[in-house]
Amino acid sequence: MEAQAHARALYRSLLRELPARSIRTPPSPLRISIRNHFANTPYNPSPEYALARRQEVEQAIQYLKAQRTYGALLERYNPNADLSEEERVRLTARRVGMDMPEEWYGTGKKGEWGVKFGNVKKD
């Protein structure tokens, strides 16, 4: 009975590490596969088989925890990683106290950004 309780705890901790899902959506194929993996184990497996399966699941849980931590750290220390190149350049310029010219990000016409700031005289 203790082995079943341990397997249930491993199953729950494994599901906790997966991305959350809405109650209204059907379970993902990965969740179905994990459930089938736990449901289709032999009733009285040999101790070696049970140990190997438990170690596999514990390693998978450790891997998923590490991936979640990696994602959180990546987001924390590289917040602009998912931005486009133009947006990244604009934010970098803003960080040092500069603004990009209008022509850089497409709102002005090429060669006319100086007119807006009074740097170029119109003929």
User: Mean pLDDT throughout 46-57?
Assistant: 86
Global model pTM greater than 0.85: no
Check residues 14 and 80 and name the one with the higher pLDDT: 14
**120 has pLDDT over 70:** no
- Can you give the residue ranges of every domain in the chain? 2-77, 85-117
| CA–CA separation, 17 and 10 (whole Å) | 11
DSSP code per residue over 24-46: TSPPPHHHHHHHHHHHTS-SS--
Q: Name the percent of the chain in helix, strand, coil, to the closest 5.
A: 60, 0, 40
